[in-house]
Structure 1
Amino acid sequence: MFDEAIKQYEANLEETGLQQLLPFLCKQSLDVVKQGDWPHWRDRLAELPALTPSRLEITDRILIGDAADCDADQLSLLRDQLKAFIPWRKGPFKAF
């Protein structure tokens, strides 16, 4: 799941003009991250529901998907699981 998300993110990143960040998304680069508790965060990311957002915008804020991209149960599960990443350090975020 996490590897699939990274591949999708790479494809979307190419459309934003931020291609120079791609080398930092490879597994080897991410596995040596010493910030915070990366192994814990990586595991939590892998547990997120497999949703396919209709859009991904990375500008002055991060927009992921629209309300129609998931049902109420999926959204509730996603919100509960995202709480593992509190406190947010960057943002603003808007997901589904």
Structure 2
Amino acid sequence: MIFLEDLRPRGYQMFDRRQGMDVPHTTLVLQELARMHAASRLLQARTPDQDLWDKFKTIKTDWVNCTDSDGQMFHDMISTHISTAEELLHKV
């Protein structure tokens, strides 16, 4: 279970995703993605006797062809992102 805190009372604001990020923020996002990716490699290195594919079953899920409610949610989310990307490309 994951608990999330509303950080607005502390002065944090959501980034307007309709605007492009500047270079420093883009760099920060890419660094964090790289750090998260490296964490999986580190976990595998620390537990070489365990197969992460077996330990975390959801990474085996074919989300593109999944027909249950989770698959539909994934499809809807990806469709929205693709539409948004298409709109942005037309503006370039």
Q: TM-score range by the shorter chain?
A: under 0.3
With normalisation by structure 2, the TM-score equals: 0.27
Higher helix share: 2
With normalisation by structure 1, the TM-score equals: 0.26
Higher strand share: 1
Higher relative contact order (CA 8 A, sep 6+): 1
